[in-house]
Amino acid sequence: MKIGFIGAGQMAQGLAKGLIMAGLTPAEKILSSCPRVDVMLLEKMRKLGCRTTSNNEHVANDARVLILAVKPPIVPKVLKEIHQFITPQHLVISVAMGITTRHIEQSLPPKSRVIRVMPNTPALVREGASVFSCGSATLEEDAATAHRIFSSVGTCDQIEEYLLDAVTGLSGSGPAYMFMAIEALADGGVKMGIRRELALKLAAQTLLGAAKMVLETGKHPGSLKDDVCSPAGTSIQAVHLLEKHGFRCALISAVEAGTQRSKETGGLF
């Protein structure tokens, strides 16, 4: 399967690496495009064994699965450039925040096959959380193709498109919230005398381990929290303080804010 990336940034690099490592397609069957000014990005793709070009039309001509891995403001320009090269044999997959399948379909030839995906940056270490929705003209096999591609860099689920903005606020932006949590936990450790390097390691491993327990045990996170909180112990004292300072409310509000921003971004195009 030949796959073309329009864009060569971190997400394109992470997806390409995942596809290669999973054995879904050899590196030489991947072509990535990027403006000449971003030569360093193309060099990173070449180090993976992928072919590169500065011409988006070349990618559309070369591959039948096209992944639009560019920022939302760039999407209209890219769609205009590749419009004449898109055929019924093409599957166009967009990872651009907020841009609906309907908008992409309207910018391409009639009945173009379009899928919208919201991945997140942990895809770079093959621990991503991706969700996708299909456009109006996709084939049954297209959903399977998208699932295979994004499962190569983590988990992947299909969902109704109207929920993709909420997914953006949750898992799309979520790594930023978790990075802040890791940093804050480490700062707390440093304040209490732990050296910085070890504090960061402990904080990161704690979040990793807690997440794995939720996914592998199937238990509700509230129940897992209760298991840690012994009567009159240290954990329940700390949890009380977090509740007092609106910890859960802040995270809920963060997801809400991210969702709203994704909707606003889509409304600009």
Known binding residues for NADPH: 56
What distance lies between CA 138 and its chain's CA centroid?
21
Distance, CA of 259 to CA of 263 (rounded, Å): 6
Binding residue ranges: 6-11, 56, 69-72
C-alpha distances in angstroms, 78 versus 71, 120, 223? Answer: 10, 22, 48
Judge whether 135 and 116 are in contact, CB under 8 Å: yes
What distance lies between CA 250 and its chain's CA centroid?
22
Distance, CA of 127 to CA of 35 (rounded, Å): 29
Q: At what angle do helices 10-21 and 39-47 cross, to 10 degrees?
A: 10
Binding residue ranges for NADP(+): 6-11, 69-72
Q: Where do we find the tokens 């960061």?
A: 200
Judge whether 127 and 154 are in contact, CB under 8 Å: yes
Question: CB-based contacts of 155: which residues, under 8 Å, 6+ apart?
Answer: 128, 129, 130
Nearest Cα neighbor of 62 from 37, 28, 93 is: 28
